[in-house]
Chain A
Amino acid sequence: MLKQNRNPRVACLLRSLLVVLTASLSACAKPDIATVPAHPTFELDVKPLLADHCLLCHGYPATRGAPTNFRLDVWATSNGVQGADQQGSRLVKATLNDHMPPAALWGEGVGPNGKKLLQNWQTDGYPDQ
């Protein structure tokens, strides 16, 4: 029945849509970091990772509906806005659970090496430098 009703023009349109959607699935996220430092610090290792995956929304000012009471582009708290020093554990937890960034749900998060870096940072007690 389906075979009888198949229109070549409709099939061509649907095939094009499939190609476009498949092409759209190509890497939207930044690639995973190549090496994992054993003792990462915020300024040297964590901040570049956050710049690639988090600061689009959690910078200053917060954008795209992100909370405005904290920012991840600086370490210290200033002008009543908390810095990364207050958000370390929350940041690591949200990233490891694939809650953040939002596309982590579809496998476009910080990557396995990025997660390992954050775990190492957590193990060391969230050092700044």
Chain B
Amino acid sequence: MSRLSAVWLLLFAPLIAPLAARAQTPAPAPTDSLPAVVAPTASSEKLSESVPVPAPSSKPPGLDFNFFAAEPGSTPSADSAVKDANVDELSKKRRHRLEIHQTLGIATWILMGASCVVGQLNYNDLYGGGSGRGSYQMPHRLLVYPTAALFTATGIYALLAPTPYQKPLRFDTALVHRLAAIGATAGMLAEVALGFITARQADAGNPSGLKQMAQAHQIVGWTTFGFMTAAGVSWMF
């Protein structure tokens, strides 16, 4: 049991203890169904030996009630208190992880933008009538590795955030954010594959289809950046 749950239990112990005691004792029969005076008979004496009869209260029976007591079906038990504490704890954890997710997401977006710009310069240099010297190859590589790492970390933080309460699926900014994130993930996976294949093919000196591969890598890269931007912008509204 966590420390927070214990504190909750201590706080609610005065409320819970009488309720628990009340649950153990048999509930008195409704007073209006009983006769006002019951004459002691042989059968009733036998019954009193086998069944415990509640002691007569000094107060009038009509006033013997707890005004603040909830219905027996809806009494908060120790389980529900622990459950509430767990939800509270999971909510805190979720908030913490999503804050990290947000910071990482913004950093990924900045790096991805830089990768796209440098990647475009690299494409223009190698395939778009540039000098062909490959001056942007290394800067592009140096940018894309941390981008991919940050993107993965961002996604993992979002996926690892606990969901203590279920939310019905509806069209809102969260759904737009999720859809954009799914698109960005698909784009990123394609981007890694295309970039990897293009680089390996170039390193192997194989020119066949290289330009088309690089072009696809470029288009998917900008599209992925678009998805990332949509994911970020959707959270602002």
Interface on chain B toward A: helix, strand, loop, or mixed SS?
helix
By the criterion of a CB under 8 Å from any partner CB, how many residues of chain B are at the interface? 27
Determine if A7 is an interface residue (Cβ-Cβ < 8 Å): yes
- Evaluate contact between B137 and A64: CB separation under 8 angstroms: yes
Contacts of B210 in A (CB 8 A): 56
Determine if A38 is an interface residue (Cβ-Cβ < 8 Å): no
- Evaluate contact between A16 and B202: CB separation under 8 angstroms: no
Known contacts A10-B156, A29-B206, A53-B206: A20-B193 contact under CB 8 Å:
yes
Determine if B196 is an interface residue (Cβ-Cβ < 8 Å): yes
Contacts of B207 in A (CB 8 A): 51, 55-56
- Evaluate contact between A7 and B197: CB separation under 8 angstroms: no
Determine if B133 is an interface residue (Cβ-Cβ < 8 Å): yes
A111 smallest CB distance to B (angstroms): 11
Assembly CA distance A56 to B210 (angstroms)? 10
B213 smallest CB distance to A (angstroms): 10
Q: Which of A13, A63, A101 contacts B203 (CB 8 A)?
A: A101
Q: Which residue of A lies closest to B198 (CB)?
A: A28
Q: Which residue of A lies closest to B132 (CB)?
A: A63
A-B contact pairs, 15 of them (CB 8 A): A7-B159, A10-B159, A24-B193, A24-B197, A24-B200, A28-B204, A29-B206, A30-B204, A53-B204, A55-B205, A56-B202, A56-B207, A56-B210, A63-B134, A103-B203
